[in-house]
A and B are shown apart, each in its own frame.
Chain A
Amino acid sequence: MMAIPVKAIPIKAIEVKWFAAYREAAGVAAETVHTDAATAAELFAEMQRKHPALALFRAALLAINNEMADWSRSLQDGDEVLFFPPVAGG
């Protein structure tokens, strides 16, 4: 009898960086996360569970590998994901 190949859910290593109000709520500026989150939106929700202080925060802006990105963007192993609060320069 042939063994049925089991397809494992791929776990990705993602470097997460937090800025400004998010950084203070997360309590860290950067962390490496091993996740099966498919999109940046899923990752943000997962991180809100990890850091309860972030649960009060709305997702605002996102960059992946130093380029602005959509929340529906699928994550790749090794991506650097930057979560930005609303900007306030000037």
Chain B
Amino acid sequence: MNKSGISSFWLADSAIDSTAFREQLADESCGACVIFEGWVRNHNEGRAVLRLAYEAHAPMALKEGDIILQEAIERFAISKAAAVHRQGELLLTEAAVVVGVASSHRDAAFQACRYIIDEIKHRLPIWKKEYYADGTAEWVNCQQCAASHSDSEMHA
């Protein structure tokens, strides 16, 4: 995705290969690698969650994702940064997002990794729909939106 190999953000339609993800960060000058995985968990705000669906607007998500990684490289003393976000249907325990950073020393890697995941959550045009054990479904962060119905699925 990114020709320099220094940073890359992408969207994945299927399970993320954590070994391949880690390998792309390998760098002989780096003594630290921090990888964060955001997993699909079975509960949210007191409700039992069965599965998730993510929808992304790819052209803008890819561009903004690369901008976030570049910001991390400029702000923190890191060598490499990468991140991938799933789209489509996800099951419990799957990784929805993976962020990885490699740096000479660990402090910068921890800080940069935290920065990247926080910015991904706030800035990327990605939406999450939770499917609950009681048969209902809801778009997260859209509480002010109309009540959603599990039978109003649109497969556009």
Contacts and interface: CB of A to CB of B under 8 A. Distances in A.
A85 B154 contact: no
Interface of B: 38, 54-57, 59-61, 63, 85, 96-97, 117, 120-129, 139-142, 144-146, 148, 152-154, 156
A90 B154 CA distance: 23
A29 B154 contact: yes
Interface of A: 19-25, 27-30, 53, 56-58, 61, 63, 66, 82, 84-90
A89 B142 contact: no
B59 A85 contact: no
Contact of B139 (A30, A66, A88): A88
B94 to A, nearest CB: 13
B54 A56 contact: no
Given A53-B146, A56-B146, A82-B57, A87 B153 contact: no
6 contacts: A21-B148, A56-B145, A66-B59, A86-B141, A89-B61, A89-B121
Given A21-B139, A66-B59, A87 B122 contact: yes
A20 B112 CA distance: 30
Contact of A24 (B56, B63, B120, B154): B154
B38 A90 contact: yes
Nearest to A17: B57
A58 B145 CA distance: 7
Given A89-B97, A89-B120, A20 B146 contact: no
Contacts of A63: 57, 60, 125
B154 A23 contact: yes
A57 B150 CA distance: 18
A66 B120 contact: no
A20 B59 CA distance: 16
Contacts of B85: 89-90
A87 B156 contact: no
Contacts of A61: 125
A86 B142 contact: yes
Given A21-B139, A88-B142, A89-B124, 5 more contacts: A58-B144, A58-B145, A86-B141, A88-B126, A90-B85
